Amino acid sequence: MTIALLFLGQLTIQAQAFLTYLSEHGYEVTAINTLHSSFPRKIDETNIPVYNLYEDSKIRAMFEGRLDWFRKATLYSIAKNLSLKCDKFSQIIDRAGIELIYGSWGSLSLPEISMAQEFHVPTVYEFLTYPTNSIRVGQEIENFFNRRTVNNLDGRVLSSQRMFHYMKNVFDMHRGENLVFMECYPEKFYYRKRLPLLSSFDGQPHLVFIGMDVYDILPQVEKVASKKIHVHMCNVSQAGWHTNAQEGSIGEYASENLGFVHSFNRFAYREIADGTFATFLTQFDACWVTYNFWGASGLSRFNNGIPSRFSIALLAGIPIVIPEGYLEGCEEIINKYQIGFAYDNYSNLSNELNNESMLSHYQNNAIKNSNLFSLENNVMKMNKFLKGIIG
């Protein structure tokens, strides 16, 4: 039996992969993009239609710039209290005969989910990260705005047991069902072959950083590179992630650290979806997962979530290294499967990466355990959960 599902949220790499898989396995998927920027009319290489909620919208400008989410949450809260409904939601739900609404990410799409709840269609939200804010007072405001929406969800998908306990303490959650389900990708995203390790040519450790906050972590890059560890990362200006990034900043760091900082070009979604990117990652000794933790006053976001930069590294079957004590949910996975390590200082990181016996142990385990995290190996519990929500 086909289930008509409406996705409402950000069409991230993970969301596109997940929705494509569902559409191939018994779900008729329609998507509404809640980002301010427009998305193509269909998800790449699928027949999944995509509607841009804020295309040509007069309120779009209100959601741009600093404090954008808080302005959106306030506006939607007022609209809901006035019993206003979104005509675009109504038209799509009626036209497609939607049986289930599924949202995703952190707090950024919860205002729209709140409005969608007014249509009395079973609603599920996947919290890939929560809380989204890394400032403690911001987290308190975030929880205040989200309380009614989160408590009224028919289903919550939480990326870790830590997140489940956090939200259970913050919200009532007496209504609806909960599922702990880590972000994962289909097997076609996984590596196709193993490339020779770069370290086998020069005898020096090579790390890859695949996160988006390149500019924020450059001070950490400098310290790692000073230990004669090569760091490879996406080109700042080519990626276009931070407009305040200084032009050629990676090159400046590379010069200061004798060529130990390198950049690579950004990969397109298709290259990620066909395993090209995962194959590219196999040439590195480990994937380095980090954030600017020291710029945060609230660490719950980092402790609770399993970020994409971590789950994407699993596609390559390479070890994962993280600073100790900040990504506790990730640290638990690394320790359980022995697929990497947490370091407490940069000398410790260097020693571990130069320990050939230990690194080989992590590398072998990363390859052996990689498919444990595939969508194919985990989707049955998600499918059972969603069908249970519909009843």
Q: Calculate the alpha carbon distances from 15 to 19, 104, 140, 147 in Å.
A: 6, 8, 27, 24
383 with 367, same domain: the answer is no
177 with 73, same domain: the answer is yes
Give the domain extent around 63: 3-184+375-390
Q: Is the pLDDT of residue 215 over 80?
A: no
Beta-bridged to residue 155, according to DSSP, are: 124, 177
Cβ contact 242:214 at 8 Å: yes
Q: Is the pLDDT of residue 216 over 90?
A: no
> pLDDT digits over 72-102, tens only?
777 777 766 655 566 777 788 888 789 999 9
* CATH number, residue 254: 3.40.50.2000
- Residues 313-336: what's their mean pLDDT? 97
> pLDDT digits over 24-82, tens only?
999 999 999 988 888 999 999 899 999 998 887 666 666 666 657 777 777 777 766 65
Considering its fold, how many domains does the chain have in total? Answer: 2
138 with 58, same domain: the answer is yes
**Within its chain, how far is the Cα of 320 from the centroid?**
16
127 with 256, same domain: the answer is no
Q: Calculate the alpha carbon distances from 72 to 10, 31, 123, 217, 270 in Å.
A: 15, 20, 20, 29, 32
Which of 5-14, 257-266, 280-289 is most confident? 280-289
> Which pLDDT band, with edges at 50, 70 and 90, does 258 fall under?
low
Q: What is the DSSP string of 342-364?
A: EESSHHHHHHHHT-HHHHHHHHH
Question: What spatial distance separates the first Cα and last Cα of the chain, rounded to whole Å?
Answer: 13
Q: What is the model's pLDDT at position 95? A: 81
365 with 379, same domain: the answer is no
Angle, helices 346-353/218-225, rounded to nearest 10 degrees: 60
169 with 221, same domain: the answer is no
- Residues 297-323: what's their mean pLDDT? 95
Would you state the structure tokens that stand for residue 168, as one six-digit string? 């259970």
347 with 386, same domain: the answer is no
Residue 117 CA to residue 54 CA, distance in Å, equals 19
Q: Which of 35-39, 170-174, 277-281, 386-390 has the lowest mean pLDDT?
A: 35-39
Residue 132 CA to residue 90 CA, distance in Å, equals 28
211 with 101, same domain: the answer is no
135 with 246, same domain: the answer is no
Residue 182 CA to residue 286 CA, distance in Å, equals 21
User: CB 97: neighbour CB atoms within 10 A?
Assistant: 9
120 with 239, same domain: the answer is no
34 with 150, same domain: the answer is yes
Residue 97 CA to residue 72 CA, distance in Å, equals 27
364 with 386, same domain: the answer is no
